[in-house]
Amino acid sequence: MAENNQSDLVSKIVSLCKRRGIVFQNSEIYGGIQGFYDYGPVGSLMKINWKNAWWTDNVVRRRDVVGIDGAIITHPRVWEASGHVQNFTDTLVECKSCHKRFRVDQIEDQKKCAECGGQLTEPKKYNLMFKTEIGVIEGEKTTAYLKAEACQTIYLDFKNVVDSSRVKIPFGIAQIGKAFRNEITPKNFLYRLREFEQWDIQFFTHPSEMEKWFEYWKENRMNWYKSMLNDPSKLRFKEHAKDELAFYAKKAFDIEYDAPWGWSEMEGIHWRSDYDLTQHSKFSGQDLSYIDPITHERYLPWIVETSGGVDRNFFFMLLDAYREEETPSGETRTYLKINPRIAAYKIAIFPLAANKPELITKAEGIFDKLSQKYSVDWDDSSNIGKKYRRQDEIGTPWCLVVDFQTLEDNTVTIRDRDTMSQIRINVDEVDSWLEKQLNSKYENIKS
């Protein structure tokens, strides 16, 4: 798509997401609430596939990574140990007239409101964590926090994982989990949310192998995103400057996406050394060190962290996939060129005429067979053009039509989303044909 179309790309995707049941504004009937979104019937399937692709490639297909699924609320001391209670702040100013709040690092004029020209307050620190209370009796309630980052439960469960599984260093613990941040200015659709999910790997290594594993994960994660998206030129690394690094980090990189509003962080690759386990050892009083089963060396492992935003990167995936093209008949065709692993449906089945019971019965038979193995959509509405348009817009890679010829020779047509080309094959071959397509044409993750 031409550069000058980039600016309306976001609004086109927001509208497509609503129209096709991918993402809805949360609480829309009440006017919406900033920074919160819901996934609709199509989007929830796509998001499950998005997370499954990450989980499959990083946990299921690896012998050195195991997964956990931690709670949203943890002991309040966790956030003291992690430094969030003290330091997880943004500095904001508020307009004295319209009361709009701005992050100081995101405005040019620190004295005047960009919205109404009113005077701004002095900057003040603002903690981004959501607070809640545990317990029912007034006066005995304890303040707790919703997870500000998903990874903390990995550190908390480190000892339990080592004691209960057969993991040996080097190994990783992966988790996909919710995170909550009271962002001052949620914006750009799914990019900056107040409730979102993160996919994290904390990879535990001997300090002497930290450099090697850091470089390994940096490349591995970039290659993964390249394999999931169409356009690798939209991806790059950004190294953190020395003065941006945490005191324990030797280096850190972001994987960035070239979004319509500029290069933006997708995922961080962080050098965490033994900081987190040291902090939790100190605050909990528990020894979190690891004993090497062969050398018997006791040490606190060092950690390479990879932490990405599931929703934010889902949005980047949509930006990468969105296509508009003129058809030979002069219409504009919109389609999502998404990896079939992520598509809500792998194939859609259309009986050509809804009022012909023999066609419906034949198509139902194909649906019943294929839906044992794949996610399959069904559409028996009357207008074939509209049916294709809907499937194109949600990124269904193939559409299968059962027509009158099917009743004569047991063949169906299959149309390709990206090329619109059609083939005619025997019904009995559809399953193996589809499997072959999914395995060869698009199955490109083998890191």
* Residue 307 sits in the site that holds ligand ATP (CB under 6 A): yes
**Burial class of residue 216, CB neighbours in 10 A (0-12, 13-18, 19+):** middle
Which residue is at the shortest CB distance from ligand ATP?
A: 309
Find the binder of ligand ATP among 82, 153, 198, 273 (CB under 6 A): 198
Q: Output the CA–CA distances (angstroms, integers) from residue 24 to 30, 46, 120, 177, in the order listed.
A: 13, 14, 34, 21
Angle in degrees, 0-180, between the axes of helices 275-284 and 152-164, rounded to the nearest 10: 80
* Residue 196 sits in the site that holds ligand ATP (CB under 6 A): yes
Q: Which stretch binds ligand ATP (CB under 6 A): 238-246, 266-274, 288-296, 333-341?
A: 266-274
Contact 410, 427 (CB under 8 A): yes
Shortest distance, CB of residue 306 to ligand ATP, whole angstroms?
9
Could you tell me how far CA 35 lies from the centroid of its own chain? 16
Q: Which stretch binds ligand ATP (CB under 6 A): 17-25, 192-200, 228-236, 388-396?
A: 192-200
**Burial class of residue 184, CB neighbours in 10 A (0-12, 13-18, 19+):** buried
Q: Which is nearer to ligand ATP, 198 or 391 (CB)?
A: 198
Give Rg (Cα) of the chain.
25
Shortest distance, CB of residue 59 to ligand ATP, whole angstroms?
18
Of the candidates 272, 318, 324, the residue with the CA atom closest to the CA atom of residue 37: 318
Find the binder of ligand ATP among 10, 23, 113, 193 (CB under 6 A): 193
Shortest distance, CB of residue 193 to ligand ATP, whole angstroms?
4
Of the candidates 71, 404, 323, 25, the residue with the CA atom closest to the CA atom of residue 189: 25
Q: Which is nearer to ligand ATP, 192 or 346 (CB)?
A: 192
Find the binder of ligand ATP among 47, 84, 159, 181 (CB under 6 A): 181
Q: Which is nearer to ligand ATP, 199 or 367 (CB)?
A: 199
Q: Which amino acid is at 139?
A: G
Find the binder of ligand ATP among 149, 276, 392, 403 (CB under 6 A): 149
Rounded to 5 degrees, φ, ψ at 290 are -115, 140
Strand spans (E) along 160-249: 171-180, 195-205, 235-239
Q: Which amino acid is at 120?
A: L
Q: Which of residues 99-118 bind ligand ATP (CB under 6 A)?
A: none
Q: Which is nearer to ligand ATP, 57 or 311 (CB)?
A: 311
Edge to edge, the sheet with strand 252-259 lists 65-67, 171-180, 195-205, 302-309, 262-273, 252-259, 235-239
Find the binder of ligand ATP among 172, 177, 309, 351 (CB under 6 A): 309
Q: Which is nearer to ligand ATP, 36 or 216 (CB)?
A: 36
Q: Which is nearer to ligand ATP, 17 or 266 (CB)?
A: 266
H or E, element range at 126: strand 124-127
Shortest distance, CB of residue 309 to ligand ATP, whole angstroms?
3
* Residue 312 sits in the site that holds ligand ATP (CB under 6 A): yes
Q: Which is nearer to ligand ATP, 255 or 400 (CB)?
A: 255
Q: Which stretch binds ligand ATP (CB under 6 A): 57-65, 272-280, 302-310, 350-358?
A: 302-310
Q: Output the CA–CA distances (angstroms, integers) from residue 35 to 103, 107, 182, 315, 316, in the order listed.
A: 15, 20, 9, 14, 17
> What residues line the site for ligand ATP (CB under 6 A)?
149, 181, 183, 192-193, 196, 198, 265-268, 307-309, 311-312
